[in-house]
Amino acid sequence: MKKFLLLPSPILLLLTSILLLVGCSKTSDTIILEDASYYQYLDSSNPTVEFVLSDNSKIKFELFKDIAPTTVKNFLSLISAGYYDDTDFNEKCDVFISAFQFNKNLPNYTIKGEFTENGYQNPLSFSEGILGLMHNHSNDDGLSELFISFQNIPEFDGKFAYFGGVTEGFSTLKFLQDLKPDSDGFIRSSLRIDKVNIDAKGFDYSTFEKIETLPFENAMTFLNDTNPKIKMTIKDFGIMELELFNDVAPITVENFLTLVDDNFYDGLTISNIFAGHFTGGIPTNDPSKSTDAILGEFFHNGVNNNISHDKGVISMWRDDAFTDEAFNSATNRFIICNDDLPVLNKYFAAFGYVVSGLDVADKIAAVSFNSTTGAPNIPIIIEKIERIS
């Protein structure tokens, strides 16, 4: 089975730090609706949605249109567009489970975070059965990643946009609670969201305030005669030629070319193979091969890099966390996409494209690898990377 790249969300990282400090209480085996923290906000005029899971079980949520109207409208709009159909549950810990779609291109906007720490009065709390929306590095960059809470954690109140609550399907929620994640907090279960049904109750969600972002474009859009070009020779596999997009990611390109001119990559290996991409550079903190970290030139780090991570794109690898330090941790490791990976858009600095030799990338991606580490089972050596213009 291919190993997928998965990124821990900010809520998982923040929860880990909070739970280490305060611990966590035992989640009740049965949630009684009348005891739910959001019970007072239930109203027959509120829209409802029903998650139909792959085992035909169901969970029904009521959405609080008067508390978080923009979040509710955005959620219903994405459902209507089919975004959550055939969607995985991705992350889980003792207190929540999240769901989002890896391989669907999202609209080119985000929404304002409707929660107290963002200057918006939202009285809902992080409690059993609550439905919330993730945000990432900015309070206003949330869009599609959902989470469902299993526990009451007051330390999390006011930090995320809570906008709905479970009203039916508590036994299914308990089943989700009992799913066992791997050591990184990710779900490997085949259980998915097959589809989501809406009963809008006449609520109009056609228009709402959006924070527009640059549309992501295919890398070929950025090709031009003035871009620097490099040749990457992989022993026993062949040659790839790449064009680098200096106008979009100048710091990344300059750093990469400096390493190329210093013959840094010559003799190193392709260190990991995942579904959709492989990585090259120094896989460990070898002091003899250390290089300086650079600014992460991507959307969630304040840079309008709109190169889509499509097949053939080269991008910089970084620490996979949601902190300033991690966002600016890229040094020398790069990835080359051998499949479309829109999940990397906004989080990683794409900076070039394979203009010749994409079949070489396909050959590398086809090599067998360790299912746990992603390390290829044979050495794949970078003989040389050099400028050609």
Domain range list for the chain: 10-212, 219-387
Q: Give 202 or 272, the one with higher predicted confidence.
A: 202
At residue 90, the pLDDT reads 75
Domain 219-387, CATH among 3.90.550.10, 2.40.100.10, 3.40.50.300, 2.60.40.1180: 2.40.100.10
The span from the CA of 229 to the CA of 133, in Å, is 41
22 has a pLDDT exceeding 90: no
At residue 103, the pLDDT reads 56
Average pLDDT across the chain, whole number: 86
At residue 54, the pLDDT reads 94
- Provide the b/e sequence for 59-95 (b: ≥16 CB within 10 Å): bbbbbbbebbbbbbbbbbbbbeeebbeebbbbbbbeb
| pLDDT tier at 76, thresholds 50, 70, 90 | very high
Q: Give 203 or 7, the one with higher predicted confidence.
A: 203
10-212 is a CATH 2.40.100.10 domain = yes
At residue 49, the pLDDT reads 98
The span from the CA of 314 to the CA of 192, in Å, is 31
Q: Largest Cα–Cα distance in the chain?
A: 69
What is the average per-residue pLDDT within 172-196?
82
At residue 13, the pLDDT reads 54
At residue 115, the pLDDT reads 98
| Lowest mean pLDDT segment, chosen from 15-29, 98-112, 148-162, 332-346 | 15-29
244 has a pLDDT exceeding 80: yes
The span from the CA of 62 to the CA of 45, in Å, is 10
pLDDT digits (tens, 9 = 90+) for 279-295: 876 544 455 566 889 99
The span from the CA of 331 to the CA of 375, in Å, is 20
At residue 27, the pLDDT reads 44
At residue 290, the pLDDT reads 66
46 has a pLDDT exceeding 80: yes
The span from the CA of 114 to the CA of 164, in Å, is 13
Hey, do 10-212 and 219-387 end up sharing a CATH topology, with the first three levels equal? yes
| pLDDT tier at 387, thresholds 50, 70, 90 | very high
Smallest CA-to-CA distance from 279 within 159, 145, 380 is with 380
At residue 278, the pLDDT reads 76
At residue 274, the pLDDT reads 78
Q: Give 334 or 300, the one with higher predicted confidence.
A: 334
What's the predicted TM-score (pTM) here? 0.72
19 has a pLDDT exceeding 70: no
The span from the first CA to the last CA of the chain, in angstroms, equals 39
At residue 186, the pLDDT reads 66
Question: 368 CB contacts (<8 Å, ≥6 apart)?
Answer: 376, 377
At residue 259, the pLDDT reads 95
The span from the CA of 283 to the CA of 229, in Å, is 25
Task: Give the tokens for residue 104.
Answer: 């669907």
Q: Give 29 or 274, the one with higher predicted confidence.
A: 274
| Lowest mean pLDDT segment, chosen from 1-5, 228-232, 300-304, 364-368 | 1-5
At residue 158, the pLDDT reads 95
What is the average per-residue pLDDT within 90-118?
81
At residue 181, the pLDDT reads 77
| Lowest mean pLDDT segment, chosen from 112-121, 150-159, 315-324 | 315-324
226 has a pLDDT exceeding 80: yes
| pLDDT tier at 141, thresholds 50, 70, 90 | confident
